[in-house]
A = this chain, B = another copy of it.
Amino acid sequence: MALVVQKYGGTSVGSVERIKNVARRVAKTYDEGNDVVVIVSAMAGETNRLVALTQEVCEFPSEREYDVVVSTGEQVTIGLLSMCLQSMGYKAKSYLGPQIPVMTDNAFSKARIKSIDDKKVREDLKNGNIIVVAGFQGTDLDGNITTLGRGGSDTSAVAVAAALKADVCEIYTDVDGVYTTDPRIVENASKIERVSYDEMLEMASLGAKILQIRSVEFAKKYGVVIHVRSSFNDNPGTLVMKEDSEMETVLVSGVTYNKDEAKISVLRVPDKPGIASKLFAPLTDANITVDMIIQNVSNEGYTDMTFTVLKSDFKKALKIVEELAGEIGAEKVQGDENIAKVSIVGVGMRSHSGIASKMFTTLAEEGVNIEMISTSEIKVSCVIDSKYTELAVRVLHDAFELGSDPEAE
């Protein structure tokens, strides 16, 4: 008998029919002899509806009150799922974040979980209950409702799994698992059986939108095994877990891409100490996150700096930099929204050389120019012209032999 934590996202509970579907799946896991704790999101569309209501009231709502309003979405789902399980003859009990309690700091609308009390839940499990927990929400020390930010239900699930020392945390979503790349671009993209926390973190931050990054950090910290799988079939999904020696034999685990960024170049800046700080401090003050930063070696006392920001911040960032250009003596500022970041990720890179070079060669052979490069221990990212995105993803996926072999199946 195992203790299984399951998390169902908004699409999986998007209608009463789908909630009934989730109830059947939960019941099946319970019938197989497991203790089950279910974490659910708001029904698809509900959080957007609630956010729109707050926007109708005022443009910048108080974050405390914002959390009071938006946390109702999950509350509705836990009640509906619990009564559904009960009508099928199971003992079920719902819990709001504050009822467990899931204790967080008081950073409303982006709170972080501090601790989870497992006492009440354990007792209810012992009495044969299926436990249904509202994701996304918690309470601070003063009893205020807090929420964890978009996608926070993943983190709720992993944190509950950690607190209960669950055997596995199953994250149900609308795809079968984590793929070597986007199957909409590469037809023979294959499902990854096992992926390490670090690889998953890189993939998530590089644009693969399967798990909230914070949930993976949490899982890594507490050693929670995450099983990403589909709520619409019974296929085994992807295990996100501690790295082992076998994982290292794979050179590259996946190819990701991200079209959400734009590039700003500051050309011929006098290369003096303090230039970078003068340039980036105002961006930080304006709450603009800078991703990649490239500074070329100095040439005749001048240098070029290029960096990327989210497309949604692009206009604002460009304006700030243009205003600074005179002050720091730059010759010219250029912006470019037509870029994409293509990356390869794999813990195998640590022990295998030549992987970055193989990536550059592969792109060059297709005539794809690389505009920026950034690397970490387990990933290489290249910024390219966005029109080559799909081509680049396909040739890299092929070059590193990530596709499933139809004949082997």
Contacts and interface: CB of A to CB of B under 8 A. Distances in A.
A99 interface: yes
Residue among A57, A78, A84 with most chain B CB within 10 A: A57
A50 B76 CA distance: 8
Contacts of A92: 65
Interface in A120-178: 143-145
Contacts of A53: 16, 76, 80
Given A16-B53, A57-B84, A69 B79 contact: yes
Contacts of A82: 62, 65, 68
A300 B237 CA distance: 84
A376 interface: no
Interface string A41-60: 00000000010011011101
A21 interface: no
A102 interface: no
A94 interface: yes
A82 B65 CA distance: 7
B50 A66 contact: no
Contacts of A64: 93-94
A246 to B, nearest CB: 45
Given A68-B78, A75-B72, A83 B99 contact: no
A268 interface: no
A20 interface: yes
Contact of A87 (B20, B58, B84, B93): B58
A153 to B, nearest CB: 17
Contacts of A54: 79-80, 83
A83 B56 contact: no
A86 interface: yes
A22 B85 CA distance: 40
A183 interface: no
A107 B50 CA distance: 30
19 contacts: A16-B53, A20-B57, A54-B79, A54-B83, A57-B80, A60-B87, A61-B87, A62-B86, A65-B80, A65-B82, A65-B92, A66-B83, A67-B79, A68-B75, A68-B79, A68-B94, A68-B96, A71-B75, A72-B75
